[in-house]
Chain A
Amino acid sequence: GESVGLHLPTLSVQEGDNSIINCAYSNSASDYFIWYKQESGKGPQFIIDIRSNMDKRQGQRVTVLLNKTVKHLSLQIAATQPGDSAVYFCAESYYGGSQGNLIFGKGTKLSVKP
């Protein structure tokens, strides 16, 4: 399905390699950040989140790094697998205001070559 945008930045990696997906966020007041994975025909799926009082958080095979100085977020995927192929979105939120409003980045398409 065409649930994600055309002409997205694409990252192509070999199976087993590490992947790094970058995101620049817009609001310096944002204090909560999330990475989502969206596969074709599905809704976004939560991967990992991080609060602004942290600069690194690790999950299973994934690590999120936050650099508030330059408003940059990255997602590192270790030992990338074909099942990781999807579009990845970063999202930011200012939970001190409304809690239901996530601002999404444009997305990066990850393509894993077997």
Chain B
Amino acid sequence: KAGVTQTPRYLIKTRGQQVTLSCSPISGHRSVSWYQQTPGQGLQFLFEYFSETQRNKGNFPGRFSGRQFSNSRSEMNVSTLELGDSALYLCASSVTGGGPYEQYFGPGTRLTVT
């Protein structure tokens, strides 16, 4: 079974631009979560989608948004990029069955904002 894939793997953007990152979950997984990883703040939860609906959202500004498609693929968008948005963006997928479950992470998209 193929793992979680994220595209692109690396991205360089200029402050003020917007960016869209993509995540394809493991086949059969319906939940996709997004995390931001930085040296200073570590791994922080952005949001989670399940069946095309955002189920939970972390403490990030409204410039960070996401969506999920009917095939469970997910995208996240960051508008008006700031230098502090430079980070590794990770997505994780899981099978949601009403109890604790493990999340499988993709390799991440390394975003650099200049």
Contacts and interface: CB of A to CB of B under 8 A. Distances in A.
The answer to whether A and B assemble together is yes
Interface residues of B, number: 36
B4 A51 contact: no
Contacts of B92: 43-44, 102
Interface in B53-105: 55-56, 58, 88, 90, 92, 94, 96, 99-105
B100 A31 contact: yes
Interface stretch (A14-22, A58-66, A68-76, A93-101): A93-101
Interface residues of A, number: 33
A3 B88 contact: yes
Given A3-B37, A3-B88, A98 B48 contact: yes
A2 B39 CA distance: 8
A95 B37 contact: no
Nearest to B38: A5
A46 B110 CA distance: 21
Contacts of B47: 100
A49 B56 CA distance: 22
B33 A102 contact: yes
B42 A104 contact: yes
Nearest to A93: B100
Nearest to A98: B56
A1 B45 contact: no
A54 B43 CA distance: 26
Nearest to A32: B100
Interface of A: 1-6, 31-32, 34, 36, 41-46, 49, 51, 89, 91, 93, 95, 97-107
Interface of B: 4, 31-33, 35, 37-40, 42-45, 47-50, 55-56, 58, 88, 90, 92, 94, 96, 99-108, 110
